[in-house]
Chains A and B, each alone.
Chain A
Amino acid sequence: MITSFLVKSLDRTIITAVAILLGLAALVPALNLMTAPDHPLHVPTYLVSLFGKYLTYALLALALDLVWGFCGILSLGHAAFFALGGYAMGMYLMRQIGARGSYGNPLLPDFMVFLNWKELPWFWYGFDMFWFAALMVVLVPGLIAFVFGWFAFRSRVNGVYLSIITQAMTYALLLAFFRNDMGFGGNNGLTDFKDILGFNIQADGTRAALFAASALALAVSLVITSGIVRSKFGKVLVALRDAESRTRFLGYRVEHMKLFAFTVSAMMAGVAGALYVPQVGIINPGEFDPGNSIEVVIWTAVGGRGTLIGPIIGAVLVNGGKSIFTAAFPEFWLFALGGLFVLVTLFLPKGVVGTLQQHLARRRANREAARKNGEAEFAAAEPMAAE
């Protein structure tokens, strides 16, 4: 059952993409760690972390594409799930600091000592164990998405209304996490991390491992997403995206289908956030900013929604552009981003990858037609030759 699910998920594009990601996971750390800094092929550590960050963004965009591209749910709150996963990882990293914080308190993170708290809040229990934190990375975003989706999809909230309430959700979380008494470090968030799984988080080796982990997570998620969209379930998703009430009249529980896709997608976003936080070294409420979620939509649109490779390429392209642009003309980045979205919507509605695929498909169809015509002419010429 599972094997057939996996076999179906693989086609040439996916195999190539997974192979590239696995290759990067091996090659980039090797070039970083095993070459001398003056070697021409040396990859400096800051680039390893930068591209590691892009890969987590790519995973977030892939997660969004599952619900937006294949299921028609335009979530404008996906960065919230990313941030929740990030916070779960951040809490683990805070607990690893131990007595090395500025206040030297072995149990309480610095911000709690600063707020004069005497004991660890109950919801911080367990986060000193990696396995528990890793579980929460998927469970917390998954649970919130499930509860949110349960009410939204059951009440048949659709289209722009759904998008607006996802914005409201991420904004509500933003405000909540800003509060000091929530117990998540308030405005400053969680930072000053020291170790992850006993390894120094600043060390080149750890950075390289985090990059490899991000590439691996993206490859695994790509296979899972591909399996989902190629299964009959995926066909139902596309069907309900295009004609929801027709799908209902075929006997499908549309709300269950959406809920499953939304929850899986939120869990993937959580994993992305958890890999992001150790690579950038901080998580704060700013990650819940509604604008962040909208940016994810732009990456996905630029790459091509409804294709699996598109959002990955879009996330890397747009963020690469952002890194270069904000260094050169920092004050114009938002205009460039807005302009990009307008241009893509107008001229590349299927995104970069979608347009490319369409082009290739048309060329293949033309070739096919030409071949058929050739055969027909040949067949027509035959009896004449017999005369």
Chain B
Amino acid sequence: MTEKKPRSLLYLDGVSVSFDGFKALNSLSFVVEPGELRAIIGPNGAGKTTMMDIITGKTRPDEGDVFFKGDIDLTKKDEAEIAQLGIGRKFQKPTVFESHTVWDNLELALNRSRGVFATLFYRLTREDKARIEEILSTVRLTARRDDFAADLSHGQKQWLEIGMLLAQEPELLLVDEPVAGMTDAETAETAVLLKEIAKTRSVVVVEHDMGFIRDLGVKVTCLAEGSVLAEGSIDFVSNDAKVIENYLGR
């Protein structure tokens, strides 16, 4: 394996994983370029979440290669290391730290050194303070900075989590169903926000909401039964016969 497409940010090749005999991923290959915004669609059980688990080190693949920035082998690293390398992940269910304030959630997510002693003697610098304030205004939570995250509405929690991802300053952002349970207005705003974020980094979005995908207007990958079914523009993919049969409507 010397030839590894040095320019791609994320490179998955022939990745397979099975749980108790069920093949969640079946020789999946998938490439994300720097600065790309990519949408992933597919029916339930297609392997979308498993793919994210593999990229973020939660699950180890049975076979196949996963490389980040050309030559960093992600299959040999754990969650914390991968997060520190610059891969952020947003879960389907918003998971913010409920017993911390909005501010503390962002402070914890901030991309600073994360060792025991570094955190023990951490002091909020003027620079960090400015950064947190900037993120607060981006995700429109400035007014609620001192409230506990537990007291936020569902949509606000989603936005706080996006803010935490911004604070992490990842080069690659994996976003799992960001608009599930959001109102139409919130959905449209989220599409704008994600496009904004994708200007400075690569983003992979898993979503069921076809309208939202259309709003994003980006390259789409359709997964089914653990491998790639089709890839291309939304119109191309949604007219693909296999996609229609497997996913969009039988």
A contact set with B: CB distance below 8 Å: 1-2, 4-5, 228, 231-233, 235-236, 238-239, 242-243, 245-254, 256-257, 260
B97 touches A246 (CB 8 A): yes
- Which 6 residue pairs spanning A and B have beta carbons closest together? A251-B83, A233-B119, A232-B122, A248-B79, A233-B120, A251-B84
Residue of B with least CB distance to A257: B116
CA distance A246 to B109 in the complex (A): 10
Known: A235-B107, A248-B79, A250-B168. A1 touches B121 (CB 8 A): yes
Quick check: is B104 within 8 A (CB to CB) of the other chain? yes
Q: Smallest Cβ distance from B165 to chain A, in angstroms?
A: 9
- Sample (15) of A-B pairs whose CB atoms are under 8 Å apart: A1-B121, A4-B123, A232-B108, A233-B116, A233-B122, A238-B97, A239-B100, A242-B97, A242-B98, A248-B78, A249-B56, A249-B79, A250-B114, A251-B84, A257-B116
CA distance A242 to B119 in the complex (A): 18
Within residues 86 to 125 of chain B, which ones have a CB less than 8 A from any CB in chain A? 88-89, 91, 95, 97-100, 104, 107-109, 111, 114-116, 119-123
Quick check: is B80 within 8 A (CB to CB) of the other chain? yes
Beyond A245-B58, A246-B91, 7 additional pairs, beta carbon < 8 A: A231-B119, A236-B114, A246-B95, A246-B97, A249-B79, A250-B83, A256-B116
> Size band of the B side of the interface?
20 to 34
Of A235, A250, A254, which is in contact with the most chain B CB atoms at under 10 Å from its CB?
A250
Residue of A with least CB distance to B112: A232
CA distance A36 to B100 in the complex (A): 53
List the B side residues contacting A256 at CB < 8 Å.
115-116
Quick check: is B164 within 8 A (CB to CB) of the other chain? yes
List the B side residues contacting A2 at CB < 8 Å.
121
Partner of A250, one of B104, B108, B122: B108
Q: Smallest Cβ distance from A149 to chain B, in angstroms?
A: 13
List the B side residues contacting A235 at CB < 8 Å.
100, 104, 107-108
CA distance A125 to B108 in the complex (A): 47
CA distance A238 to B100 in the complex (A): 8
Partner of A251, one of B80, B104, B107, B122: B80
B contact set with A: CB distance below 8 Å: 56, 58, 78-81, 83-84, 88-89, 91, 95, 97-100, 104, 107-109, 111, 114-116, 119-123, 164, 168
CA distance A253 to B84 in the complex (A): 10
CA distance A228 to B121 in the complex (A): 9
B83 touches A249 (CB 8 A): yes
The A-B contact count (CB < 8 A) is: 77
List the B side residues contacting A252 at CB < 8 Å.
80, 114
Partner of B114, one of A231, A238, A246, A253: A253
Q: Smallest Cβ distance from A232 to chain B, in angstroms?
A: 4
List the A side residues contacting B98 at CB < 8 Å.
242
B107 touches A231 (CB 8 A): no
List the B side residues contacting A246 at CB < 8 Å.
91, 95, 97
Residue of A with least CB distance to B120: A233
Known: A238-B97, A238-B99, A242-B99. A250 touches B109 (CB 8 A): yes
B79 touches A245 (CB 8 A): yes
CA distance A256 to B168 in the complex (A): 20
Known: A238-B97, A252-B114. A5 touches B121 (CB 8 A): yes
List the B side residues contacting A233 at CB < 8 Å.
116, 119-120, 122
List the B side residues contacting A232 at CB < 8 Å.
107-108, 119-120, 122
CA distance A232 to B109 in the complex (A): 11
CA distance A225 to B99 in the complex (A): 19
B120 touches A5 (CB 8 A): yes
Q: Smallest Cβ distance from A151 to chain B, in angstroms?
A: 16
List the B side residues contacting A253 at CB < 8 Å.
80, 114-115
Of B80, B88, B168, which is in contact with the most chain A CB atoms at under 10 Å from its CB?
B80
CA distance A228 to B122 in the complex (A): 11
Partner of B83, one of A1, A238, A248: A248
Q: Smallest Cβ distance from A285 to chain B, in angstroms?
A: 34
Q: Smallest Cβ distance from A86 to chain B, in angstroms?
A: 28
Residue of B with least CB distance to A260: B116
Known: A252-B114, A254-B80. A239 touches B108 (CB 8 A): yes
B95 touches A4 (CB 8 A): no
CA distance A248 to B91 in the complex (A): 13
A251 touches B114 (CB 8 A): yes
CA distance A233 to B121 in the complex (A): 8
CA distance A1 to B91 in the complex (A): 36
Q: Smallest Cβ distance from A258 to chain B, in angstroms?
A: 10
List the B side residues contacting A248 at CB < 8 Å.
78-80, 83
Q: Smallest Cβ distance from A308 to chain B, in angstroms?
A: 15
Q: Smallest Cβ distance from B86 to chain A, in angstroms?
A: 9
CA distance A87 to B121 in the complex (A): 33
Residue of A with least CB distance to B90: A249
CA distance A257 to B115 in the complex (A): 8
CA distance A335 to B112 in the complex (A): 51
List the A side residues contacting B168 at CB < 8 Å.
250-251
Residue of B with least CB distance to A240: B97
List the A side residues contacting B81 at CB < 8 Å.
251
Residue of A with least CB distance to B174: A249
Known: A235-B107, A246-B97. A228 touches B80 (CB 8 A): no
List the A side residues contacting B100 at CB < 8 Å.
235, 238-239
Q: Smallest Cβ distance from B122 to chain A, in angstroms?
A: 4
Q: Smallest Cβ distance from A297 to chain B, in angstroms?
A: 21
Q: Smallest Cβ distance from B131 to chain A, in angstroms?
A: 15
